[in-house]
Amino acid sequence: MIHQITKALDSVLNIKSVSAHCDVPCGIYDPSTMQLAALTVIRFMDQINELEGKELTLADQAKLVRLVSEKEIHAEKVKQEVRIVWGDYFKAAQFEACPGTNELVHNIMLTGSKCKQGIERAAAEELLTLVNEFAVSFWKTKGVDTFTATCPYPPALDVVYPKLG
Protein backbone atom coordinates (compact mmCIF):
# COMPACT_ATOMS: atom_id res chain seq x y z
CA MET A 1 0.00 0.00 0.00
CA ILE A 2 2.71 2.47 1.06
CA HIS A 3 4.80 1.34 -1.91
CA GLN A 4 1.89 1.91 -4.27
CA ILE A 5 1.36 5.43 -2.93
CA THR A 6 5.07 6.16 -3.20
CA LYS A 7 5.12 4.79 -6.73
CA ALA A 8 2.21 7.07 -7.65
CA LEU A 9 4.08 10.02 -6.15
CA ASP A 10 7.17 8.93 -8.06
CA SER A 11 5.30 9.16 -11.34
CA VAL A 12 4.60 12.81 -10.55
CA LEU A 13 7.69 13.86 -8.63
CA ASN A 14 10.22 11.68 -10.47
CA ILE A 15 12.08 10.52 -7.39
CA LYS A 16 15.81 10.13 -7.95
CA SER A 17 17.05 6.58 -8.60
CA VAL A 18 20.21 5.04 -7.21
CA SER A 19 21.86 1.79 -8.15
CA ALA A 20 23.26 -0.94 -5.97
CA HIS A 21 25.51 -2.18 -8.77
CA CYS A 22 25.45 -5.79 -7.80
CA ASP A 23 27.42 -6.55 -10.93
CA VAL A 24 29.65 -4.47 -13.15
CA PRO A 25 27.42 -3.59 -16.08
CA CYS A 26 29.40 -2.20 -18.99
CA GLY A 27 26.23 -1.60 -21.01
CA ILE A 28 27.98 -2.64 -24.21
CA TYR A 29 25.90 -5.22 -26.04
CA ASP A 30 26.00 -5.97 -29.75
CA PRO A 31 24.80 -9.08 -31.60
CA SER A 32 27.56 -8.76 -34.21
CA THR A 33 29.86 -10.97 -32.13
CA MET A 34 27.40 -13.87 -32.17
CA GLN A 35 26.72 -13.36 -35.88
CA LEU A 36 30.42 -13.52 -36.71
CA ALA A 37 30.79 -16.63 -34.59
CA ALA A 38 27.86 -18.28 -36.40
CA LEU A 39 29.38 -17.42 -39.79
CA THR A 40 32.68 -18.85 -38.61
CA VAL A 41 31.00 -22.14 -37.70
CA ILE A 42 29.60 -22.37 -41.25
CA ARG A 43 32.97 -21.49 -42.78
CA PHE A 44 34.77 -24.15 -40.76
CA MET A 45 32.14 -26.74 -41.63
CA ASP A 46 32.69 -25.92 -45.31
CA GLN A 47 36.42 -26.38 -44.93
CA ILE A 48 35.93 -29.62 -43.03
CA ASN A 49 33.59 -30.92 -45.73
CA GLU A 50 36.11 -30.01 -48.44
CA LEU A 51 38.35 -32.69 -46.98
CA GLU A 52 35.70 -35.35 -47.68
CA GLY A 53 37.08 -38.18 -49.83
CA LYS A 54 40.56 -36.76 -49.83
CA GLU A 55 43.52 -38.86 -48.80
CA LEU A 56 44.65 -36.86 -45.82
CA THR A 57 48.29 -36.03 -45.40
CA LEU A 58 49.65 -35.36 -41.96
CA ALA A 59 49.23 -31.65 -42.62
CA ASP A 60 45.60 -32.23 -43.66
CA GLN A 61 44.97 -34.20 -40.50
CA ALA A 62 46.47 -31.41 -38.41
CA LYS A 63 44.26 -28.92 -40.25
CA LEU A 64 41.18 -31.09 -39.67
CA VAL A 65 41.86 -31.25 -35.96
CA ARG A 66 42.18 -27.46 -35.83
CA LEU A 67 39.02 -26.91 -37.88
CA VAL A 68 36.95 -29.21 -35.71
CA SER A 69 38.30 -27.65 -32.56
CA GLU A 70 37.69 -24.09 -33.71
CA LYS A 71 34.26 -24.96 -35.09
CA GLU A 72 33.23 -26.18 -31.63
CA ILE A 73 34.77 -23.17 -29.91
CA HIS A 74 32.84 -20.77 -32.13
CA ALA A 75 29.57 -22.65 -31.71
CA GLU A 76 30.06 -22.35 -27.99
CA LYS A 77 30.88 -18.68 -28.46
CA VAL A 78 27.54 -18.13 -30.17
CA LYS A 79 25.82 -19.66 -27.17
CA GLN A 80 27.87 -17.61 -24.74
CA GLU A 81 27.30 -14.29 -26.51
CA VAL A 82 23.56 -14.91 -26.76
CA ARG A 83 23.41 -15.89 -23.09
CA ILE A 84 25.09 -12.63 -22.09
CA VAL A 85 22.68 -10.42 -24.01
CA TRP A 86 19.68 -12.47 -22.96
CA GLY A 87 20.74 -12.75 -19.31
CA ASP A 88 22.25 -9.34 -18.70
CA TYR A 89 20.56 -6.98 -21.12
CA PHE A 90 17.05 -8.31 -21.59
CA LYS A 91 14.71 -7.19 -18.82
CA ALA A 92 10.92 -7.08 -18.55
CA ALA A 93 10.62 -4.21 -21.03
CA GLN A 94 12.68 -6.01 -23.69
CA PHE A 95 10.81 -9.28 -23.19
CA GLU A 96 7.56 -7.39 -23.56
CA ALA A 97 8.78 -5.77 -26.77
CA CYS A 98 10.02 -9.09 -28.16
CA PRO A 99 7.72 -11.91 -27.09
CA GLY A 100 9.12 -15.29 -28.00
CA THR A 101 12.67 -14.34 -27.06
CA ASN A 102 13.01 -17.09 -24.47
CA GLU A 103 11.98 -19.75 -26.97
CA LEU A 104 14.30 -18.25 -29.58
CA VAL A 105 17.24 -18.28 -27.19
CA HIS A 106 16.50 -21.85 -26.21
CA ASN A 107 16.48 -22.83 -29.87
CA ILE A 108 19.84 -21.11 -30.33
CA MET A 109 21.23 -23.12 -27.42
CA LEU A 110 20.01 -26.39 -28.91
CA THR A 111 21.15 -25.57 -32.43
CA GLY A 112 24.51 -24.35 -31.15
CA SER A 113 25.02 -27.69 -29.45
CA LYS A 114 24.05 -29.50 -32.62
CA CYS A 115 26.74 -27.54 -34.48
CA LYS A 116 29.29 -28.55 -31.87
CA GLN A 117 28.35 -32.20 -32.20
CA GLY A 118 28.27 -32.53 -35.99
CA ILE A 119 29.31 -31.09 -39.32
CA GLU A 120 25.90 -30.63 -40.93
CA ARG A 121 25.94 -27.29 -42.72
CA ALA A 122 22.16 -27.08 -42.49
CA ALA A 123 22.43 -26.93 -38.72
CA ALA A 124 24.94 -24.10 -38.90
CA GLU A 125 22.78 -22.21 -41.40
CA GLU A 126 19.87 -22.64 -39.01
CA LEU A 127 22.05 -21.27 -36.22
CA LEU A 128 22.81 -18.17 -38.31
CA THR A 129 19.12 -17.72 -39.10
CA LEU A 130 18.20 -17.89 -35.42
CA VAL A 131 21.00 -15.52 -34.44
CA ASN A 132 19.83 -13.09 -37.12
CA GLU A 133 16.35 -13.25 -35.62
CA PHE A 134 17.86 -12.50 -32.24
CA ALA A 135 19.73 -9.54 -33.75
CA VAL A 136 16.47 -8.15 -35.16
CA SER A 137 14.90 -8.39 -31.70
CA PHE A 138 17.91 -6.82 -30.04
CA TRP A 139 18.00 -3.83 -32.39
CA LYS A 140 14.23 -3.46 -32.04
CA THR A 141 14.69 -2.95 -28.30
CA LYS A 142 17.17 -0.21 -29.13
CA GLY A 143 14.74 1.44 -31.54
CA VAL A 144 17.14 0.74 -34.41
CA ASP A 145 15.87 -0.53 -37.76
CA THR A 146 17.69 -3.38 -39.46
CA PHE A 147 18.36 -4.60 -42.96
CA THR A 148 19.58 -7.87 -44.38
CA ALA A 149 22.58 -8.08 -46.68
CA THR A 150 24.97 -10.72 -47.88
CA CYS A 151 28.18 -10.53 -45.93
CA PRO A 152 31.06 -9.58 -48.27
CA TYR A 153 33.25 -12.54 -47.33
CA PRO A 154 32.88 -16.31 -47.17
CA PRO A 155 30.49 -17.94 -46.56
CA ALA A 156 28.64 -15.00 -48.20
CA LEU A 157 25.31 -15.53 -46.44
CA ASP A 158 22.57 -13.17 -45.33
CA VAL A 159 23.29 -11.24 -42.17
CA VAL A 160 21.11 -8.74 -40.32
CA TYR A 161 22.78 -5.36 -39.85
CA PRO A 162 21.61 -2.27 -37.92
CA LYS A 163 20.74 0.87 -39.85
CA LEU A 164 22.99 3.27 -38.01
CA GLY A 165 23.73 6.82 -38.96
d(CA 151, CA 31): 15
Judged by CB, which is closer to other proteins: 95, or 161? 95
Bond into 99 cis (ω within 30): no
Judged by CB, which is closer to other proteins: 12, or 22? 22
Q: In angstroms, what is the minimal distance from the CB of 83 to other proteins?
A: 16
Cβ neighbours around 105 below 10 Å, total: 20
Sign of CA dihedral 150, 154, 157, 160: negative
Q: In angstroms, what is the minimal distance from the CB of 95 to other proteins?
A: 15
Judged by CB, which is closer to other proteins: 18, or 59? 18
Q: In angstroms, what is the minimal distance from the CB of 88 to other proteins?
A: 12
Which residues bind to other proteins, rule: CB under 8 A? 2-4, 6-7, 10, 15-24
d(CA 65, CA 50): 14
Judged by CB, which is closer to other proteins: 59, or 92? 92
d(CA 44, CA 116): 11
Q: In angstroms, what is the minimal distance from the CB of 9 to other proteins?
A: 9
Judged by CB, which is closer to other proteins: 21, or 54? 21
Contact criterion met (CB below 8 Å) for 75 and 49: no
Q: In angstroms, what is the minimal distance from the CB of 8 to other proteins?
A: 11
d(CA 15, CA 5): 13
